[in-house]
Amino acid sequence: MTSPILSRRRLLQAGAATAASLAAPAGFAAPLPKPERTTLTVGISVDAASFMPAFIGVARSWKEQGLDVELTSFRGDAEVSQALAGDSLDITLQSTDGLINLINAGQEAIGFYAGCNQADFAWCAQPTTKDWAQLKGSGAGISTFGSLTDQLTRYVLRRHGLEPEKDVSIIQAGGTASILQALKANRLGLAILSPPFKWMAEEAGYTRLGSQAEDIAPQWPKHVYIAKKKFIEQNPNTLKHFLRGHVEGLRLAKRDPDFAVKVLIDRLKWEPGYAKRAYQEVLPSYDERGHLPEPRYMDVFWKIEEQGGSVKEPWPTAKLLDDRFIKSFEEWAA
């Protein structure tokens, strides 16, 4: 027979568990410890559809975690990296190439969450250009030197028998919208474009010569959340709230496509048709648990980094990512 004391204890435990579950946000297991700070400055390298979780975070899900997040977009990895290095930002969401450049520069920065694995770039050329060989003597537009767009463009040119800077000049042109404008103004022979600008270029008669998914790999470590190591050590609970907001943003995008599309329209000022198409393209490539792409695709990534001179050999994941939040996903998010 169960004792009255034991029965009362079990009843109290059950009641506490129920109260905790009711206090937790919908879709999550339990309340999190109080964040060390509630105001954050976050930078993204450019405005693009693949930053959708951050846009949704600002619009709703980070607010629901009690965080006041100021989100600023820059003109490429170089600028946002400088802002992080100079302590103007707490966190960045930028390319893995940008992270490698930060580490190579001796900055005490590291990634703490990945899972943005889109391979959504395409290369468009002038209407009269029908194959890669015709690009000799022209210029290829990228965002900034050392960025993801730079590394990918140099790799794909070599893959098609063209030597960057010798056969084709590499030209910094800013964000994707600016790259497309430079292509239209005939200042570029080739442009690397993300959604929706790659579709706009095709609709305007420009030649699509190739795509990242077809010419390089269908998965790519496109964006990583990055912070200085000291910030991570001092603000673990803040980052749990922050990442819970990120995860809830992804789940909200799946539950409510109309809301996610509206967020893209409001942030990027795109036409609804383009925003919906971009949403449909980028959404399947998010891993809410923050994992990098499959090893076979990471092998391609490291090969490109070696060819570009950023690394001499593939790095162990621990050099790139502090994976404490990835490993503890079940504790703070599930």
List, for residues 96-152, the tens digit of each pLDDT value. Answer: 999 999 999 999 999 999 999 999 999 999 999 999 999 999 999 998 888 888 989
8 within some domain? no
Q: Over 60: is that where the pLDDT of 15 sits?
A: no
Is the pLDDT at 209 greater than 60, yes or no? yes
Tokens of 55: 């846009």
Taking the C-alpha atoms of residue 237 and residue 204, their distance in angstroms, rounded to an integer, is: 49
Cβ of 45: how many Cβ atoms within 10 Å?
28
Identify whether residues 196 and 321 lie together within a single domain. no
The answer to whether position 184 is within a domain reads yes
Query: pTM of the full predicted structure?
Result: 0.85
* Among candidate residues 51, 42, 57, the one with its CA nearest the CA of residue 91: 42
Looking at every residue in the chain, the average pLDDT score rounds to 91
Q: Shortest CA distance to 319 belongs to which of 100, 80, 91? A: 100
Cα 265 to Cα 269: distance, rounded to the nearest angstrom: 5
Number of domains in the chain: 2
Say if 278 falls within a structural domain: yes
Q: What is the CATH number of the domain that holds 193?
A: 3.40.190.10
Q: Are 185 and 206 in contact (CB under 8 A)?
A: no
Q: Are residues 93 and 156 in the same domain?
A: no
In which band, very low, low, confident or very high, does the pLDDT at 252 lie, cut at 50, 70 and 90?
Answer: very high
Q: Are residues 304 and 181 in the same domain?
A: no
- What is the token pair recorded at 230? 């000291």
113 and 224 both lie in a single domain: yes
Residue 11: pLDDT above 90? no
Q: Say whether both 171 and 237 belong to one domain.
A: no
Provide the 8-state DSSP code for 33.
P
**Enclosing domain of residue 66:** 39-119+220-332
Residue 279 shares a structural domain with residue 313 = yes
Do 99 and 229 reside in the same domain of the chain? yes
CA distance 82 to 88: 9
Residue 175 is predicted with a pLDDT of 83
Residue 247 pLDDT > 80: yes
Q: Are 79 and 134 in a shared domain?
A: no
188-204 tens-digit pLDDT: 999 999 999 999 999 99
Residue 11 bridge partners (DSSP): none
* Structural domain includes residue 270: yes
Per the domain annotation, does 155 fall within a domain? yes
Would 326 be classed as within a structural domain? yes
Q: CB under 8 Å to 169, separation ≥6 — which residues?
A: 138, 139, 140
| Residue 109, beta-bridge partner list | 228
Split at pLDDT 50, 70, 90, the class of 41 is: very high
In this predicted structure, what is the pLDDT of residue 29? Answer: 58
State pLDDT tens for residues 152-173. 999 999 999 999 999 999 999 9
- In the DSSP assignment, the letter for residue 226 is E
pLDDT at 95 over 50: yes
Are both 68 and 90 inside the same structural domain?
yes
Q: Confidence class of residue 334 from pLDDT cuts 50, 70 and 90?
A: low
**Residue that finishes a domain, picked among 168, 187, 215:** 215
pLDDT in tens, 253-272: 999 999 999 999 999 999 99
Q: Which of 118, 148, 146 is CA-nearest to residue 292?
A: 118
